[in-house]
A = this chain, B = another copy of it.
Amino acid sequence: MDYTTPQFFHLMQYAAEAEGDVIDMVSGNPDFEPPSTLRRALQAYADFDQGRFQYPPSDGLFELRALIAKRRGVDTEQVIITNGAGEANYLAMAIALDRGVGSEAILLDPIYPYYPGKVEMLGGTKRVIATNRDGSIDIGAIEQAMSDETALVVLNTPNNPTGAVYDIDDVRHVIDLAETHDAIVLVDEIYDRFDYSGRFASAVPIDSEHRIVTSGYSKSMAITGLRVGFAIMPERYIDAARTRHMLVNVASSRPAQYAVLEALRETPDTYYAEARAQLGDRIDAFTAALDRVGAAYTEPEGSFYVLTRFDGFPGTMANTKRLIDEAGVAGMPGATFGDAFSDWLRFAVVTPRAVEAAERLGEYFG
Contacts and interface: CB of A to CB of B under 8 A. Distances in A.
Interface in A303-337: none
A46 interface: yes
A296 interface: no
Interface stretch (A25-33, A66-74, A166-174, A355-363): A25-33
Nearest to A52: B225
A53 interface: yes
A244 interface: yes
Interface residues of A, number: 57
A27 B256 CA distance: 22
A130 interface: no
Contact of A250 (B1, B34, B86, B247): B86
A338 interface: no
Contacts of A46: 39-40, 42-43, 46
B39 A225 contact: no
A37 to B, nearest CB: 11
A249 B50 contact: no
A121 B248 CA distance: 9
Nearest to A46: B43
10 contacts: A3-B243, A27-B55, A42-B255, A53-B223, A54-B222, A83-B83, A84-B251, A225-B251, A249-B249, A256-B256
For the complex of A and B, list the 7 residue pairs with the smallest distance between their C-beta atoms, beginning with the closest.
A253-B253, A225-B254, A43-B46, A86-B250, A29-B54, A42-B46, A227-B253
